Structure 1
């Protein structure tokens, strides 16, 4: 704390990760002694907020359950002395979600090329979430160790949502030719699709899981307004943990409705309107029975698609005409889990 205050004379806020409260208490004591105008903000995971719960109750509270994603700050009960100091000196107490922690990890990596553990990103996650004045100069304390390799995939998956750059939806379309094309044209437009999962289930309507890259909350609201304007029923899944952790991976399986089904792996260019251009080329000649795509940050996206098609040669000639590399799938996995 002393180093921060001596090196950054105009600092206005210091965001501190909180577990048992020792570091928070120490920083708060130094800051309030030397520069009491500086705000000290305590940051905890939403599922491990023993300090915030204790402050609200005006006594130390023991949590029944502690989330372990940010295991470096996972405590059921804060210390007696640290609680007393925090109650007296700390200006505010906030919590951040797992997605917001993941976004904090990404921000630290992009700035310093350091991959911190979740507890170490709490301060940055707090800065990103807190409504700071325009003239604020904030410092985020980064604590803990480096990331374990096994967690990287999970964090990469959740970062876009945590930084408010991805919106997830279940969208209902009429199960008829051209419906998906209309959705891409009228709703998606120049946005990038981050994920698209669909499986033919019934003949009158279709439900698909779609992720869309958005610039901010206002952009997300405009996207939803376009869906309403053009008559697309939807459910916002952006904050649904079941959707993010499980359901997005479970859409598929055998479809009793599908007839003369063939499957292809297709390389899509990673750019806006790529899907719309593809659908325009396919036209209404072939019904899409399966679609599975997740953007992974490459220059091309590998998409698995199923078509109801009694003449694959004609379909493959369309792929060639638009220069989309496609390969017919011959896989035991497809035989076991997708086809008749």
Structure 2
């Protein structure tokens, strides 16, 4: 963690003063707080959306970056600033620097989508592409900082940045006019959450602060439970704007005594929230920007809340158009409007019709089948759920009573990400083993992997789809009698991998 040239701790009262004195509105705007009419009616609570997607850089990051930079001394401003980012922070720093007429250098991973690189360049910042991920880009930024005598603008773990983000809390309480019962805030490194939580608890102590993270990058929840920042072993990449492996030291200090609960949501729940935001605003939020609303929906259902005043934040809308396909595919699952099943039915006339009669009038949304066995047909099917989980349980009950073998794949990532797009015939391959591998999305990454894997192993299955994110995900089948030798080789390759031999979806549809 890069150390900032400021106090390592700050009293809560001092942070409140810094938030109230943050002069950001010659660049940032006071965004509206809109009531989500459809969701409020559906969920029987008053739900308000803080529209940070309407900032000039389409995210809240402009607040903290500008607050930090406007407080620099004249010498530091003239030398310029540097930051590492693959998205929203980069645009915030570039916009603020352009406004202040100072030079800015942004180090971005080589996997950064071109649309984000172009957006930073348009704001007159110098872009340096380095490394496959944020950590590698950040390390290069530290080196350039020292070489050129620049000022590093941290994306979250800086008190001036935290104070800038805290102005969102000031606006929420002013605009709502009444104490909210709950404020739901997204957490990545913790900047926005720390600023909002501190101010809200100071002025409205009865308001409950709920932090929301993607379940595969929940660094604050881990720290909240253990009492100190802890590095996650693995970090999911779907909600890339909040995909942080360790909560900031300063942000954790500012959060730990001001948060009532820390919750997580799934990829599918985030996708459903993206759709809900679109239906309310006609804006397509990025996954990180929709995470807090996903938490609202989940928390209301699990706690059976009614007639509560709930505020949440649309923190950003910087998503690549190519990701919409993936988000759309997962939306119905996240909203409990679709279920996926593997079904075994007799390979004889009338079996499919009988199966359809067990669906309680629900429509089939997807059907994958190819003849393979004279006795049993193995099918992959998507089913519309008219009444959410109640419909799913009713269908499962009907299948059980009819003695039809079935496996619910609605929460099986391999099935949703890969198998539904590649089913055809089965092929039993001796000594076949399955792995998920994560590639940096850049030219030559696949060739490098194949070269590093070597010619000792036979690849028997390969499925990859581009989702316009920084990383591609592959389902890989490798033939070899000793899986330990495969994994020994995979460990030498600098790509994350996950064994999937025990995944029932692989077993059902591979033929092994």
TM-score for both structures, normalised by structure 2 = 0.48
Deviation digits for residues 230-287 of structure 1 (CA, Å, limit 9, x no counterpart): 22110110000111111112221489xxxxxxxxxxxxxxxxxxxxxxxxxxxxxxxx
**Over residues 59-118 of structure 1, what are the superposed CA-to-partner deviations in whole Å (9 max), with x where a residue is unaligned?**
110122222211111212211121012111111101111111111111101111100111
Show the counterpart of 1:225.
397
Query: Secondary structure at the residue paired with 2:230?
Result: coil
Please say if 1:112 is aligned against 2:281. Answer: yes
Pick aligned residue for 1:125 from 294, 297, 301: 294
Aligned pairs for 1:86-165 (under 5 A) are: 86-130=255-299, 131-132=302-303, 133-165=305-337
The correspondence for 1:17, drawn from 181, 186, 192, is 186
Supply the distance in 2 between the matched residues of 1:80 and 1:254 (Cα, whole angstroms). 51
- SS in structure 1 at match of 2:295: helix
Distance 2:343 2:245 in 1: 40
Please point out which of 402, 406, 409 is paired with 1:237.
409
Q: Which residue of 1 aligns with 2:367?
A: 196
Contact 2:364 2:384 in 1 (8 A): yes
Which of these residues, 383, 389, 406, is aligned with residue 212 of structure 1? 383
Most deviating of 65-74 and 197-206: 65-74
Counterpart among 239, 244, 249 of residue 70 in structure 1 = 239
| 1:238 partner SS | coil
Aligned partner of 1:184 in structure 2 is 356
CA distance in structure 2 between the partners assigned to 1:253 and 1:183 by the alignment: 21
Residue of structure 1 equivalent to 2:214: 45
Distance 1:75 1:10 in 2: 31
Distance 1:62 1:161 in 2: 30
Consecutive unaligned residues of structure 2, counting only runs of 5 or more, are 1-168, 428-512
Pick from 167, 170, 174 the counterpart of residue 2 of structure 1. Answer: 170
Q: TM-score, with normalisation over the residues of structure 1?
A: 0.72
Distance 1:205 1:77 in 2: 49
The separation in 1 between residues aligned to 2:218 and 2:227, in whole angstroms, is 14
Q: Which moved more, 1:21-30 or 1:140-149?
A: 140-149
SS in 2 for 1:141: strand
Q: Which consecutive segments of 4 or more residues in structure 1 shift more than 2 A?
A: none
Q: Give the Cα–Cα distance (whole angstroms) in 1 for the partners of residues 393 and 198 of structure 2.
A: 43
The alpha carbon displacement at 1:145 in A equals: 3.0
Structure 1 position 83 matched with structure 2 position 252? yes
**Could you say what secondary structure the match of 1:40 adopts?**
strand
Q: Secondary structure at the match of 1:182?
A: helix
Unaligned runs of 5+ in 1: 256-340
Let me know the Cα RMSD of the aligned residues.
Answer: 1.4
Q: Secondary structure in 1 aligned to 2:235?
A: coil
Q: Between Structure 1 and Structure 2, how many residues are aligned?
A: 254
Q: Which moved more, 1:168-177 or 1:69-78?
A: 69-78
**1:189-233 CA-partner distances (Å, limit 9, x unpaired):** 421111111111111111111111112111111111111112211
SS at match of 1:188: coil
Distance 1:254 1:230 in 2: 25
**SS of residue in 1 equivalent to 2:256:** helix
Deviation at 1:58, TM superposition (A): 0.8
Between the aligned partners of 2:245 and 2:350, the Cα distance in structure 1 is 54
Would you say the 8 A contact 2:372–2:426 is kept in 1? no
